[in-house]
Structure 1
Amino acid sequence: MYSQKLFDLLTTKNLTITFAESITGGLLSANLVKFSGASKILKRSYVVYSAEAKKDILKVPASIIDKYGVVSKEVAEAMNDGLQQISKADIYVSITGNAGPTYEEDIPKQLAYVSIRTKDKNQVLKITLNSKIRLKNFEEAVNFTYKSIIDLIE
């Protein structure tokens, strides 16, 4: 639902987007590449599921992960900082979180943080995921993120 609207909006406004995805594991980009012409709007997409990937690819400082945990506003922002260093686009989106149903110790449950940046706007949003079903939480995180991007650029 929101993927088509976001795709159309990005295409109409001639905007490009790049993603750094943890909790969604590539679903943000996968749902956009379903549409013909996606190469005009999607610049890059990185799946940085592990803390190691966040550090290696996006250069998220270990000190931030150690202090705040991988499911945090601070890590979402640091992911976006790194994303801007390795990709050029009009919109940068990073997302980190935990979809459940199993959890590691000291990691917030069913929670995600999304960082969305444009040239003149910057926001970090917190999502509480409501389902006990992992796949539904992925869908909720993707839809929330798409709607937030749409609201920011519309």
Structure 2
Amino acid sequence: MDFPKILLDKISYYLIDRNETISIAESVTSGFVQLAFSQMPDAEKFYRGGLTAYTLEEKVKHLGIDPSEARAVNCVSQEITELMALNVAEKFGTDWSIATTGYATPVPESGEEIFAYYSISYLGEIILSDKIELHPLTKAIDAQNYFTECILSCLRCEVKKHLLQLAFKN
């Protein structure tokens, strides 16, 4: 799997420059985001690790998601993704985190749609949370790759924006 090198390099540079760390909680992307981080230069300086929790039971067990809330939405919602992001950051003790959940194939539970929710947290606060929707004929691997690249692009923007805000404060 190839990810845009410039994107990976920028994220790596920004996180190393500020001596900040990141962790990942994935579902719909099935480890793609973690794979991308493992390809970044000097990843060991900022990437602490992640979890791929694909089922409701694993999200409850490893990411502290409330079982009744999870069942009500088949463990796929913006709120679930935000909790995943906050809880994985706490679990790994990181400054930043990313979480994903959704559907890479059209199924009855998704209304036959393909989409992903993602959330990015920084210092215990959700700073970005959104939904990506794709055409229902998109192949699963293409959907997962697209979700990953989109989320990484958003992370790059958020980390850069944060760095600029810090520069103006100093």
TM-score, with length taken from structure 2: 0.81
Kept in 2: contact 1:26–1:47 (CA 8 A): yes
User: 2:143 and 2:63 mapped to 1: Cα distance?
Assistant: 24
Q: Secondary structure at the match of 2:131?
A: strand
Kept in 2: contact 1:69–1:107 (CA 8 A): no
Q: Secondary structure at the match of 1:70?
A: coil
Question: What residue number does 2:168 align with?
Answer: none
Question: What residue number does 1:91 align with?
Answer: 96
Question: What residue number does 1:115 align with?
Answer: 119
Larger helix fraction of residues: 2
Q: Deviations over 1:18-48 (max 9, x none)?
A: 0001011111111121234211110121111
User: 1:36 and 1:116 mapped to 2: Cα distance?
Assistant: 21
Shift >6 Å, 4+ stretches:
none
Unaligned runs of 5+ in 1: none
Of residues 76, 81, 88 in structure 2, which corresponds to 1:76?
A: 81
Q: Secondary structure at the match of 2:13?
A: helix
> How many residues are aligned here?
152
Question: What residue number does 1:133 align with?
Answer: 139
Give the superposition deviation at 1:122. Answer: 2.0
Kept in 1: contact 2:86–2:121 (CA 8 A): no
Q: Deviations over 1:77-133 (max 9, x none)?
A: 121232133121110111101111x42x32252111111110265221111124611
Of residues 103, 106, 109 in structure 1, which corresponds to 2:109?
A: 106
Q: Secondary structure at the match of 2:23?
A: strand
Of residues 50, 58, 62 in structure 2, which corresponds to 1:57?
A: 62
Unaligned runs of 5+ in 2: 161-170
Task: Return closer, same or farther for 1:36/1:3 CA change in 2, 3 Å cut-off.
Answer: closer
Task: Return closer, same or farther for 1:53/1:91 CA change in 2, 3 Å cut-off.
Answer: same
Kept in 2: contact 1:129–1:141 (CA 8 A): no
Question: What residue number does 2:167 align with?
Answer: none
Identity %: 22
Kept in 1: contact 2:12–2:41 (CA 8 A): no
2:144 is aligned with what amino acid? F
User: 1:50 and 1:67 mapped to 2: Cα distance?
Assistant: 14
User: 2:52 and 2:149 mapped to 1: Cα distance?
Assistant: 18
User: 2:11 and 2:132 mapped to 1: Cα distance?
Assistant: 19
User: 2:56 and 2:15 mapped to 1: Cα distance?
Assistant: 30
Q: Secondary structure at the match of 1:139?
A: helix
